[in-house]
Amino acid sequence: MPNPLTPAPLSFSPDGTLWSERYGDVYHSCHGALEQARHVFLSGNELPARWQGHEQFVILETGFGLGLNFLATWAAWRADPRACLRLHFVSVEKHPFTREDLARAQAHVLRDSRELAPLSATLQNRWPLLVPGIHRIFLDGGRVTLTLIFGDATRELRRLMLAADAFYLDGFSPAKNPDLWSPEICKAIARLAAPGATLATWSVAGHLRAALAANEFALEKRAGFAEKRQMLVGRYRSRKPHPYPAPAPDERRAIVIGAGVAGTSVAAALAARGWQVDVLEARDAPGQGASGNLAGVMRPLPSVDDNFLARLTRAGFLAALNGLQTLTAAGLPIRWGQTGALHLARDAEHEATQAKAVAGLGLPPEFLRYLDQSAASELLGYPTTRGGWYFPLGGWVQPPSLCRANLLANAERITLRCPVRVAEIRREQGAWQALDAQGKVIAAAPHLVMASGIDAPRFAAFSWLPQRAARGQVSWLAAADTPRLDTLICGQGYATPLVDGIRVVGASYLLDDLDTNERAREHAENLHKLNVLLPGFAEHIKPESLRGRVGFRPMSPDRLPIVGAVPDLNARKTRRRPPTHPGLWCAQGFGSRGIVWSALMADFIASLMGGEPLPLEYDLANAIAPDRFL
């Protein structure tokens, strides 16, 4: 169970400097916050000179605070004509400000800075919900990535996967907040340091210098800022190879097999990073397989113990929401409705568990609330027998429209080929080839991502994949057939608000049943589940009168996605963890959560392929790794 986030309260010292009541210390020097950021952190890390000529550059900060170090760095990057192509700024914050307080604090500190005003406004507009975990904000057309980790640095730094080129060691003074300057923090920083990484901090405390030196940092004192006589800079001198990430690819070309939400999301994430992508789809158009429903559910799935599934659906939901908002803002043809989603309990015991989870997780009410039976009935305008979880930001998404929008987001770098049926994949002379039934090469590239859903195991390199097909039939109800329902409802089934005059109700679940025909008994099952959720809601509808759609979900044994580098089984016995096929990746096993997981998993796999900081913690990355089944 994560510790609920406690936002930072906004307060000021008598001289107008931002002040922390919790730590009894200022957020920045009274002689100038931006000047301090530039003198200590940018100059101390020899920036902007050190990022010039790099494909990408990674900065890790130990305390985000007001975000002034980030804003100063972002502004310097924008002003540098020789800046790295992509800048990653990763920052941990235990007590983040609310959006409103961040805006007030930055307005106060930056009142005389016209240069940073638009950057500050953009950051405030994109500020995430105060939910524990990793949050990504893509800026400047994706060339700047701000990765915020809301949580305690003593734990979160141990779970990050990245190689930092520079460190900003910032936070309240060692006397006020000793945990942030501990030997454990210094050890975690060394683990994340790329060869030759630099660091800078305003603190020259003796115990900090000793801990950094013990972790192979060569240190030097320099003139400090304003009233601080000295500051500290350092360089990581270890020659040990860094375990992560893989080197950035020399050639950014990839094949993606499958144009459902998984495949098109991967293609969009790669194209946004400058890759050229060939998307191969067996059907006539994108989003026609498991992603072909009129509407699908978008909501996370919490748990009392905040297990892997809960954390992944929470992170996935927030990433999906961010992606949908970005596509909408770009004017792309994405259809979705943020109607709120209500997950009703199945019985009294389950309802008590739901209430316990909400109380224990301490998530903001904009993300998750518990509604009792009376409040749930009032919300829906229809009587329920139980209460449940309410997700105000949840709703429905039309998957085919998401697929099309993904392909259009960076259309100049994505080539869609359909209908094209790939019969075989093979690696020849450093490139993966997709071949048709006659052995003709359809496409070739150094990287290939398998995102073909239930079709994947027929390829030799994926024959080991422990994935099963689960038949799912949805039912379509006409507007006149049921009472009004404007909120998405779910539990042991689901029903959407009206989409093009149709309410989608689902769905059946039959493993290894590949029959594509609709069945009256599965329509009856869908109606039964709906009437259990909302007694009498659809009791007059005859199942044999209904139409719907049949799709097949790719299910993994543990119900988690299967995403990452593909293991080479021929080399399985040579190492504890088998080596992987060079340039072969998969985005599989999404089951019925393709909408929730597609954006996050696409960001994850594109980050893996590009050698970038990962958007998932170490334990979650292992939980979805393909080789976990071996």
pLDDT in tens, 96-137: 999 999 999 899 888 878 889 999 999 999 999 999 999 999
Contacts of 280 (CB under 8 A, 6+ apart): 255, 256, 257, 258, 259, 417, 418, 420, 422, 434, 442, 443
Domains and CATH numbers, the chain: 11-236 (3.40.50.150), 253-290+400-467+557-629 (3.50.50.60), 339-392+469-552 (3.30.9.10)
DSSP string, 12-73: E-TTS-EEETTTTEESS-TT-HHHHIIIIIIGGGTTTGGGTT-SEEEEEES--TTSHHHHHH
Return the pLDDT at 245: 63
Q: Is a pLDDT exceeding 60 seen at residue 370?
A: yes
CB atoms within 10 A of CB 625: 18
SS (H, E, C) 426-469: EEECCEEEEECCCCCEEEEECEEEECCHHHHHHCHHHCCCCCEE
pLDDT-derived band of residue 572, with 50, 70 and 90 as boundaries? Answer: low
pLDDT-derived band of residue 357, with 50, 70 and 90 as boundaries? Answer: very high
**Region for 467 from its dihedrals, namely left if φ exceeds 0, alpha if ψ lies in -120 to 50, beta otherwise:** beta
Mean pLDDT, the chain, rounded, equals: 93
Average pLDDT of 50-68? Answer: 95
Q: How distant is the alpha carbon of residue 390 from its chain centre?
A: 21
Return the pLDDT at 221: 95
pLDDT in tens, 77-91: 999 999 999 999 999
Return the pLDDT at 526: 97
Residue 550 in tokens: 């049949």
Packing angle, helices 99-109 and 68-79, rounded to 10: 60
346-383 in b/e form (b: 16+ CB < 10 A) is eeeeebeebbebbebbbbeeebbbbbebebbbebbebe
DSSP H or E segment with residue 409: helix 399-409
Contacts of 58 (CB under 8 A, 6+ apart): 88, 90, 162, 163, 164, 165, 166, 194, 612, 613
Contact 342, 376 (CB under 8 A): yes
pLDDT-derived band of residue 16, with 50, 70 and 90 as boundaries? Answer: confident
Amino acid letter, residue 64: F
Return the pLDDT at 115: 85
Return the pLDDT at 575: 58
Residue 237 in tokens: 């001198």
Spatial distance between the Cα atoms of 614 and 606, rounded to a whole number of angstroms: 9
Average pLDDT of 444-449? Answer: 98
Spatial distance between the Cα atoms of 156 and 92, rounded to a whole number of angstroms: 8
Q: Is a pLDDT exceeding 90 seen at residue 177?
A: no
Average pLDDT of 491-513? Answer: 95
pLDDT in tens, 234-265: 999 988 877 776 677 888 999 999 999 999 99
Spatial distance between the Cα atoms of 159 and 186, rounded to a whole number of angstroms: 14
Return the pLDDT at 308: 97
DSSP H or E segment with residue 405: helix 399-409
CB atoms within 10 A of CB 202: 21
Return the pLDDT at 593: 95
From the list 173, 135, 450, the residue with the least C-alpha distance to 319 is 135
pLDDT-derived band of residue 354, with 50, 70 and 90 as boundaries? Answer: very high
pLDDT in tens, 139-156: 999 999 999 999 999 999
Spatial distance between the Cα atoms of 404 and 397, rounded to a whole number of angstroms: 13
Q: Is a pLDDT exceeding 90 seen at residue 182?
A: yes
Return the pLDDT at 249: 80
Return the pLDDT at 2: 63
Query: Measured at the alpha carbon of residue 124, what is the angle toward residues 115 and 17, in degrees to the nearest 5?
Result: 70
pLDDT in tens, 387-409: 999 999 999 999 999 999 999 99
Return the pLDDT at 573: 57
Q: What 3-state DSSP class applies to 548? A: strand
Strand runs (DSSP E) across 212-357, as ranges?
217-223, 230-236, 253-257, 276-280, 296-298, 336-337, 341-344
Q: What phi and psi values does residue 443 have, to the nearest 5 degrees? A: -155, 155
pLDDT-derived band of residue 18, with 50, 70 and 90 as boundaries? Answer: confident
What length does the chain have?
A: 630
Q: What is the bridge-based pairing of β-strands 341-344 and 488-490?
A: parallel
Q: How many CA atoms lie within 13 A of 457 on its CB side?
A: 13
- Tokens 């568990």 map to which residue? 353
Average pLDDT of 500-523? Answer: 95
DSSP H or E segment with residue 610: helix 594-610
pLDDT-derived band of residue 30, with 50, 70 and 90 as boundaries? Answer: low
Q: Is a pLDDT exceeding 70 seen at residue 410?
A: yes
DSSP code for 125: H
Q: Is the dihedral of CA 81, 83, 88, 90 positive or negative?
A: negative
Return the pLDDT at 23: 76
Contact 390, 342 (CB under 8 A): yes
Spatial distance between the Cα atoms of 109 and 116, rounded to a whole number of angstroms: 11
Return the pLDDT at 574: 55
**Region for 316 from its dihedrals, namely left if φ exceeds 0, alpha if ψ lies in -120 to 50, beta otherwise:** alpha
pLDDT-derived band of residue 569, with 50, 70 and 90 as boundaries? Answer: confident
Q: What 3-state DSSP class applies to 511? A: strand
